[in-house]
Amino acid sequence: MTALKRIEREPLWDLAHTQLQDALLAGRFEPGTVLTLRSLAESFGTSITPVRDAVTRLVAQGVLQQGARNSAIVPHLSRRELEHLTVVRCALEGRAAREAASHRDEASLRRLRDRLTTMQSLIAARKLESYLEHHRKFHFGIYAMSGIPLLVETIENMWLRCGPVLSFVIPEYVVLLKGTDHHTAALKAIMAGDADGAEREIVADITEAAHYLSGLADATGQLRRPPG
Amino acid sequence: MTALKRIEREPLWDLAHTQLQDALLAGRFEPGTVLTLRSLAESFGTSITPVRDAVTRLVAQGVLQQGARNSAIVPHLSRRELEHLTVVRCALEGRAAREAASHRDEASLRRLRDRLTTMQSLIAARKLESYLEHHRKFHFGIYAMSGIPLLVETIENMWLRCGPVLSFVIPEYVVLLKGTDHHTAALKAIMAGDADGAEREIVADITEAAHYLSGLADATGQLRRPPG
DNA sequence: GTTTGATGTTTGTTACAACAAACATCGTCG
DNA sequence: CGACGATGTTTGTTGTAACAAACATCAAAC
């Protein structure tokens, strides 16, 4: 049981998979980009076999879209697809918030409170990068309290599908519209064991963000990154 | 645009993937079975590369569980996991039924009515195999009416996860407990545009089936196929 | 008789090469 | 000058082989 025994190399495809996921969530891939196996393999410094595994997984998860000739492309998100994503997210995350209110515990609540204050200071400092990271962890901190791993896993999948456009939010939106702070309200409801309130606030948070993103669509319905 | 041009061979991994999915849904794999690449490759008559792709996808979908040494095993379902599956399915399928009631159309409703009568005659004839098949198509006929492909796709994933135990239901359950026919009630609610009623009946259908399956658990909480 | 160590088997991982389909490029013919 | 066709390039697919980790088996030593 020595520490030496624990040095087990992670498979290469796992590394590629997580790196691709992180890149997607961080919005480092522009929608519409075609990912070729050989170019990815070169950038990872491996053969195409591990990256093929990773891409295969992402496609199976619905995170990457498979185009003609089974090529993998970073999906464009249309206004309609965003609507669909919003419906599913509301059903899933609303339910998770509801369960969280029923299964709350002291330690988790304290962590959420801390993260919330961190988020507010990051907003004030206009540090969008870090804010998005903490924002994600705040949401999933709530969902983890539901005690239903399957629910968390499914929600993660939905966030991955939103990945390419998550970074489309600009600081002004976060700063201005958050006068109606659904995050604080949701946490307060959960602390009070108010399942209805928790669901309502999370759903409102998702809906408002979706409404903002919907305004970024061009004439064809495709969501575009705002200038600046 | 001749028909000859349409003869494009499907990739081998796609064949393996769909065949494995069908086998799972039909309950041809006993929970706990370890699937080795080489044995699957031999049974498919291909090299291990295509079946590796297929298995990789199934694992990424959460349909197959990955055990030690990244081997793929047909997942056991515990009573707790069934509960979690039920929560997610109710949230998703309840929402889909609600949307279906809002987007109903004449042609789809007629197909559903036909399928319902087919199901009833299959019950009377004790043809469980065919019944399960039609039962699945009836449910997904409703979900497709929601007009939200993402929702349907996610629900399909949940059914795949239930796959290994779906065939655990025995004819007696289908025949006896269905005095409370939630299928008929759900369809009636959808035809009337009653979203609340549609969701209520679908949720009741899922919950009752889960309650029955829950009774099949052994001392360790694992679901077991009933004798006979 | 029990334990420990070596060895063989099983099985997933990775690289490489041959292949096929689709697309782009460019030259030739009308 | 334009259209058609040959050719090269790109890219995903599949098979094969070498490799490594884990497990099972068996024999020898205490």
pLDDT in tens, A18-35: 999 988 888 888 888 889
Nucleotides in chain D near protein beta carbons (<7 Å) = 10-17, 21-23
First to last CA, chain A: 54
With cut-offs at 50, 70 and 90, classify the pLDDT of residue A155. very high
Token pair in block for residue B86: 């039920």
Give the residues across from A34 on adjacent strands: A73
With cut-offs at 50, 70 and 90, classify the pLDDT of residue B1. very low
- Percent of chain A with pLDDT strictly greater than 90: 58
State the Cα–Cα distance between residues A159 and A138, nearest whole angstrom: 13
CB-strand contact B37/C, under 7 Å: yes
Q: Which of residues 59-88 of B touch strand C (CB under 7 A)?
A: 69-72
State the Cα–Cα distance between residues A223 and A111, nearest whole angstrom: 34
CB-strand contact A67/C, under 7 Å: no
Rounded to a whole number, what is the distance in Å from the CA of A191 to chain B's nearest CA? 22
What length is written for chain B? Answer: 228
Provide the mean pLDDT of chain A: 88
Give the chain B residue whose CA is nearest to the CA of A49. B49
Asked if the Cβ–Cβ distance from B56 to A61 is below 8 Å, we say no
Rounded to a whole number, what is the distance in Å from the CA of B126 to chain A's nearest CA? 34
- Percent of chain A with pLDDT strictly greater than 70: 92
Higher local confidence (pLDDT), B226 or B103: B103
Q: Is the pLDDT of residue B3 over 70?
A: no
Which residue has its C-alpha nearest to nucleotide C22's C1'?
A69
Asked if the Cβ–Cβ distance from A92 to B91 is below 8 Å, we say yes
CB-based contacts of B86: which residues, under 8 Å, 6+ apart? B206, B207, B210
State the Cα–Cα distance between residues A195 and B110, nearest whole angstrom: 39
Instruction: Give the CA B55 to C1' D11 distance in Å.
Output: 23
CA distances from A182 to A92, A146, A149 (A): 17, 19, 24
Higher local confidence (pLDDT), B172 or B5: B172
